[in-house]
Structure 1
């Protein structure tokens, strides 16, 4: 059980725009939370990103939306802001712009997809201006403003073939800033100028795919990871959004998925981080990233509540907006890849809360130096609007310490915000005396990160980037796990360290001890000193679905076309299909000028009864389409307007100069009663793993009798052994589903079905 510790609790705001945080009361850290976080504060909060500010609070920023419809507001808030002391309990903290302060160059555009960073002592808020097809930048001295308009960051044209939206900044270890942006259907990256206000130099395309967007890059160990979302973000219960990832050894790529497929390849991709799992959340996507005080990473993202997916109409907007509250879940790194909750997907019930309260340390916001013990002269507490209280040292160049009165554990994550105008500032871990401690120094004179392990051990020096500003706040984090020491230096704790150091720690140094800061010189400031037990990583994924016993199948090794003889288990809707033949061991089915989509239901469908209970249907298909919309695969079919579909299909690349994408398309069609007026028939896809001329396709069915739903999960493979498991589509249960095959749309391609096999089970619950 986690120890009871000091945690900040937030006072309820009386206004909409905040000044720096007021004094807070002591409160225990929450043990659990339940998604959506901030669901009782705002009605919706799309495309969320978070940052831990110098005042010790977390701040979240979201897309312009009607966040207070339930309070009677008919309009929207422009880039709304939330604040929390613990990542669980949130309060409204204002917005970046109002109608009165919105810059004229926006031409009244709505503002989307913020990305927040801390650069050279100021908060940078990048945001999309879709009406101008560009990215704007506002900066501020505190996380709630006042905001200064810095204008657009992209030239016109930007050099990227797709929209100038969904941007994110990343800072590399050499101090270079990179800006990622793009949507519909390409993601690009370019280096920025030194102050990160606009791009310069060549623009590189790093990823493309159907509705690929929402880039967010972090560095983990030796790789750069590009998180992104694809399919559709904002179509209510028909949103097929998922978070996926690619990784590279360079911030400019090439990025590849977990099967080695280049994110620039003209196919759908794997490495699914988060997808719908059949619980209340649909379309999880457009993520941010944060790390709690224990070192555990978390994904912040939005999801759509299945039973209440749509907002009321907003005056002046020509479509119905989708409700997208902010979700928070643990992000695990397993076998070198990020995955949400070890593969379980978005959470619905109570979850272990992030660690946000230290067992030792101080934010210096209340009670001066209470909880810390000066060793040496010159320590005091000062105040400024952003950091609020902070410790400052004005002594000489002899080393002086400010240490916690309590001890931290041996396996520990400790961190502090440090600023140096003269001398060196250090984070101290495991202090028992000057000869038995670990100190990670920001050494201004040597322009380096320097670690000391006590008497008798050599220091280790890591140069800092040439433009490193010691007079700006930087976060220094130290992790000790066993005898392994890891140190990273960042500006904003956003997975983009400007310095990394790893080294062995002797067991004599890896012990319990005080945490604190050290100073050499008369210009050292420190804030947000904390130490907590280091998190325990999850190293195994939840079990993937496995098929059970074979119930029945058809190997297509006969001479008769299925569904054309009295004893055939198959039957036709609008068939038999023209040109269909049996080749001796395959069902050969040419595509035709027909369709199964919304009101155009002209395609032949080959059906047979499904078994009772949960089951998986699998086929192996050889299919090499070369024209837009050609597709072939399997169905779970109720009627022409209610079905689930998994096909290899061809789609155009938006602004791709005629390029075609081969995708694993997992779609559903059915009624959408929540819209105003209700939509009789709707259709939307998710996109699964990479497509290939030879593919294995699976649809797994589960009857959710508790909620009255049919749940279907897709999986694809290019070798029959390694599977990419997709998200889950659901429809309310009505009539029975049949197993079906289709080969349709434009003529010119032929689908060769090797078999259809039906297995028991194959659907796993990961709620």
Structure 2
């Protein structure tokens, strides 16, 4: 609940005059002139994916946190990270460090090989770490390949780590699925949650106060074929659950895709942008990132990180189609691993458009130079070299600011007194316009009163005007006080009863136009413990000096930064645009009898004996137990030529399949071992019960060049939007001349008007592709194709994944 009231002006005027001094032993006298901030509104640095290139060979399932020393730390799944340097084995949960989120260095492993906890089952490998910061402790949870979720804690982001054993057992957790791929989340009431699950089901449970054990009921929140890797954030009153589905780790044939659902409660129900509940037994839309034909496949298992400008970044892994696989390697805990894929760490801008997240506005994974995260303050200090000369004290005459240090943070600013009136330490350089201010704050002593915070202060003729955000122990609230023209307004929101005011918390303030919003969190992972907003009167809209604040108790501050606030993207990239219908390559199926008789442009591959017949304005055709998969090529395929140039082929399909593996749909076919297939497919659920999924499934079969000899594979699907009794399917074809490839992107719809554009497969060009229809696998399902329509591709639009109409 947010409280607003007008109160008498009690805050002393903040004067950052030229003669202001810093009260601290051994600190430099401030300069006598204000120094304006010169940083641009956006980072001038660039980066290119993968950000771990040249550092480690692979870094699957990455997660990231900003440490209290101001650096970023990333953690990855056990993998052979130095195989290219001649190492034949793996590193157990490797750790990387960066000052800027893009340039990384290896710092060690959570567990050295051979030194893992002795309770681990034989040959178990540690997967999918998640990192959090709770009560000044780093919580690293990880999964074991044998099942179960374990916890290790440390006072440092690089360890040493204390083992706490399993917090979710391998079986009997209350979630009937793979008990792996966990992530923690702390709600604004202080309740800790853990999300976990893999291969078809994701669950959530509350945890105890110190986040070491499950408490209360286990709730199922998502069903999806191979759904896993949940990661939850809160934004604008909604809880967003990011997850990945489809084929994770099949090298260049990996169809992994990042998707999202949102809810009004941490336990769901989570729904897609199209309103489909994530518990519905169908494939899902709301695609965040999918392969887009630019050489990166299988983007997935994501986390989120935020730069100093407030821009969110998706942290994930992907696989290079040009260098997808390792040779056989020795497992870290024993055994020989014959089919590991290289999955380096990627980052890309995460845009929030109309309340839904998508990578690069829908453009998907990047493969060229990109604008880098903002990680350097325009104004501010990490206090690692004491209190800068340009900083001055203001407010209470009782202020006693001094340079200090803490083992976990390095240099800090310390208020050694307990001033009765607010005391400030302010950087005299101005930062103007829309701005984001961030800092780590805490109280240095116990008690029931006192507050620490950040200030935006006026100077010159605006001296006395200010915006202060307090983490207030007496009120147990996050408070914004706004003073302008002698009048003070106060806004507050309660903080959890469990909030520890003597632990580090990150306080962030964003001023955009006339609105200021503040939030406080333990770990900057989009799980705020409090958020409050205020409308600024005219006099407070231009306060431009940044500093730290304390009142009523000694306080400590660190990592203070102010940078121009990021500019949000408001529109998605365009989706492909259909041009003129090409009648020569289309068929409305208005005739009777056999399709090849009614339109000789059709021809059969193994289909002369099928029951495919025209009638009622549709092609009617049943599944018959045949197959199109590697050496089992018995399914009939109805084929016709493709047009010259880029095109889109579409069909409207009614399908009543109810048994696993039944499917019908479109195919772009070269031969039995080289094709792309988009179908309404029925697949069983791994957790039993006889239930099935109805999916829009996009598959590729071709040679896998990293096998000796190259063999065809067919294991890594992509899943698009939901399938229904009637589903519209599209394949958009683009010839990639630079790489001599067929790039084909899928789309599906349940009403023929609103389309979910999914991922793209690339197929090295050899012989021409042909348009085809197929029904296959378990017998007894009836398919009705209302038409096949082929169009010029008037504009490729995004020609990438993630755009929904």
Q: Is the 8 A contact 1:362 1:371 kept in 2?
A: no
User: Does 1:558 find its partner at 2:591?
Assistant: yes
Deviates more, 1:568-577 or 1:396-405: 396-405
How far apart, in 2, do the equivalents of 1:151 and 1:746 lie? Answer: 45
State the partner residue of 2:202.
187
Deviates more, 1:678-687 or 1:615-624: 678-687
| From 474, 495, 505, the counterpart of 1:474 | 505
State the partner residue of 1:576.
608
How far apart, in 1, do the equivalents of 2:402 and 2:93 lie? Answer: 37
Give the alignment's TM-score, normalised by structure 2: 0.90
User: Does 1:74 find its partner at 2:88?
Assistant: yes
**Per-residue Cα deviation, 1:685-722 (whole angstroms, up to 9, x for no partner):** 10000000011100111111110111100100000000
User: Does 1:427 find its partner at 2:450?
Assistant: no
State the partner residue of 1:528.
559
How far apart, in 1, do the equivalents of 2:43 and 2:314 lie? Answer: 20
State the partner residue of 1:157.
172
State the partner residue of 1:14.
none
| From 106, 117, 124, the counterpart of 1:92 | 106
State the partner residue of 2:428.
405
Report the Cα offset of residue 320 of structure 1. 1.5
User: Does 1:652 find its partner at 2:684?
Assistant: yes
Alignment of 1:55-454 (within 5 A): 55-108=69-122, 109-131=124-146, 133-155=147-169, 156-315=171-330, 316-375=335-394, 376=397, 377-397=399-419, 398-420=421-443, 421=445, 423-432=450-459, 435-454=464-483
Report the Cα offset of residue 618 of structure 1. 0.4
Q: Is the 8 A contact 1:394 1:521 kept in 2?
A: no
Report the Cα offset of residue 55 of structure 1. 0.4
Report the Cα offset of residue 100 of structure 1. 4.1
How far apart, in 2, do the equivalents of 1:678 and 1:568 lie? Answer: 36
State the partner residue of 2:660.
628
How far apart, in 2, do the equivalents of 1:297 and 1:448 lie? Answer: 26
**Any gaps of 5 or more consecutive residues in structure 1?**
1-27
Q: Is the 8 A contact 1:577 1:589 kept in 2?
A: no
State the partner residue of 1:502.
533
How far apart, in 1, do the equivalents of 2:337 and 2:708 lie? Answer: 12
Q: Is the 8 A contact 1:379 1:391 kept in 2?
A: yes
- CA-based RMSD of the aligned residues comes to 1.5
**Per-residue Cα deviation, 1:441-499 (whole angstroms, up to 9, x for no partner):** 01111211111101313211211101000010001100010011111110000010010
Deviates more, 1:455-464 or 1:163-172: 455-464
Report the Cα offset of residue 608 of structure 1. 0.4
Higher RCO (CA-CA < 8 Å; seq separation 6+) = 2
State the partner residue of 2:618.
586
Give the alignment's TM-score, normalised by structure 1: 0.94
**Per-residue Cα deviation, 1:53-91 (whole angstroms, up to 9, x for no partner):** 110001111001010111111111111111111112111
**Any gaps of 5 or more consecutive residues in structure 2?**
1-41, 801-805
Deviates more, 1:573-582 or 1:520-529: 573-582
SS at match of 1:457: strand
SS at match of 1:396: coil
How far apart, in 2, do the equivalents of 1:52 and 1:683 lie? Answer: 37
**Per-residue Cα deviation, 1:597-635 (whole angstroms, up to 9, x for no partner):** 111111111000000110010001111111111110010
Report the Cα offset of residue 29 of structure 1. 7.0
**Per-residue Cα deviation, 1:633-664 (whole angstroms, up to 9, x for no partner):** 01000011110001101001111322100000
Report the Cα offset of residue 30 of structure 1. 5.7
Q: Is the 8 A contact 1:410 1:430 kept in 2?
A: no
Q: Is the 8 A contact 1:44 1:67 kept in 2?
A: yes
SS at match of 2:596: coil
| From 697, 717, 720, the counterpart of 1:685 | 717
How far apart, in 2, do the equivalents of 1:318 and 1:97 lie? Answer: 19
Deviates more, 1:429-438 or 1:44-53: 429-438
CA 294–766 in structure 1, closer or farther in 2 if over 3 Å, else same: farther
SS at match of 1:563: helix
Q: Is the 8 A contact 1:215 1:227 kept in 2?
A: yes
**Per-residue Cα deviation, 1:187-206 (whole angstroms, up to 9, x for no partner):** 00000000001111100000
State the partner residue of 1:462.
493
